[in-house]
């Protein structure tokens, strides 16, 4: 079966992060823990919108190119608590492997992401959009602009 792709533009990502911020605005978070690398940019936008200055990271590796591998936490957040009062932000919850491990580490933190797939959505407290499990999301930081020749030139070959 062919892989399905969904392209998220910078504008769409920013819009979705602001919608998520609005949904989170009634909470009183002490800070944010961004899951690197995908959660860094959404966490920055959300931190601005919620006027949160305390931002930490947790670095998790689960993918090697497009293949899922073993979960490896390569950097823990500096907080040594159970996560109470903290907002965990990621771009996407896919299988739920990362979210499940982070929830075990920080059980009282609130977990939010922009996009969720069916297999992982139960591990998040809040998300903006559900996408199909077989959908590969192309985030703006994964792509580079490239010249596209005029259509007429490609038809003359």
Q: Out of 11, 16, 64, 91, which one is annotated catalytic?
A: 91
> Which of 38, 47, 40 is CA-nearest to residue 18?
47
**Running DSSP on this structure, what letter comes out for residue 3?**
P
pLDDT tens digits, one per residue of 55-113: 999 999 876 655 566 888 999 999 878 999 999 999 999 999 999 999 999 999 999 99
Return the CATH fold of 4-155: Rossmann fold (3.40.50)
Burial class (CB in 10 A: 0-12, 13-18, 19+), 94: buried
* Confidence label for 144 from pLDDT (cuts 50, 70 and 90): confident
94 assigned to active site: yes
142 assigned to active site: no
Q: Out of 94, 125, 134, 142, which one is annotated catalytic?
A: 94
Q: Out of 90, 125, 134, 142, which one is annotated catalytic?
A: 90
pLDDT at 1: 59
pTM above 0.85, yes or no: yes
């Amino acid at each position: 079966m062919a892989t399905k792709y969904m392209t998220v533009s910078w504008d769409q990502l920013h819009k979705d992060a602001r919608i998520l911020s609005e949904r989170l605005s009634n909470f009183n978070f002490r800070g944010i823990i961004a899951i690197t690398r995908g959660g860094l940019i959404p966490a920055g936008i959300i931190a601005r919108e919620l006027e949160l200055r305390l931002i930490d990271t947790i670095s998790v590796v689960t993918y090697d190119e497009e293949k899922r591998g073993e979960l490896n936490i390569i950097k823990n957040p500096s907080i040594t608590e159970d996560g109470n009062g903290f907002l965990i932000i990621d771009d996407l919850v896919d299988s739920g492997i990362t979210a499940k491990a982070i929830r075990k580490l920080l059980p009282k933190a609130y977990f939010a992401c922009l996009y969720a797939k069916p297999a992982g959505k139960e591990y998040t407290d809040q998300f903006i959009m559900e996408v199909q499990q077989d959908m590969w999301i192309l985030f703006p930081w994964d792509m580079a602009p490239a010249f596209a020749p005029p259509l007429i030139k490609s038809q003359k070959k």
